[in-house]
Amino acid sequence: MSAEEKYVAAAYLVVFAFVVLYIVIMALKLTRLERQVGELTELARRRAGG
């Protein structure tokens, strides 16, 4: 593997790592949001129903 090919490989790795890291972060945030919205919805339902 020549030096330039190593750079190509490194570039791929870096780009993909960033993209998937972003996905992991989004997933964590969305999971947390879903939990919170679920709790709020429960509160609202109880208030609307009861």
Partner 1 sequence: MSTWLRNNQVPALAGLAAALLCAAIALIFFYAPVDEDGLNQKIFYFHVPIAFTAYACFGWGAWKGLLVLWKGRPGADLESYVAIHQGVIFGAMTLITGSLWAKFRWGVWWTWSERQLVLFLVLFLFYSAYFMLRYSLEPGPQRENLCAVYALFGVVLIPISLLAIRLAENYIHPVAFNKHGPQMATSQFATFMVALAAMVALAGALYRVELLGKRLDARLRELRELLA
**Residues near partner 1, by CB under 8 A:** 1, 5-6, 8-9, 12-13, 16-17, 20-21, 23-24, 26-28, 30-31, 33-35, 37-38, 40-41, 44-45, 47-48
Q: In whole angstroms, what is the distance from residue 44 CA to residue 47 CA? A: 5
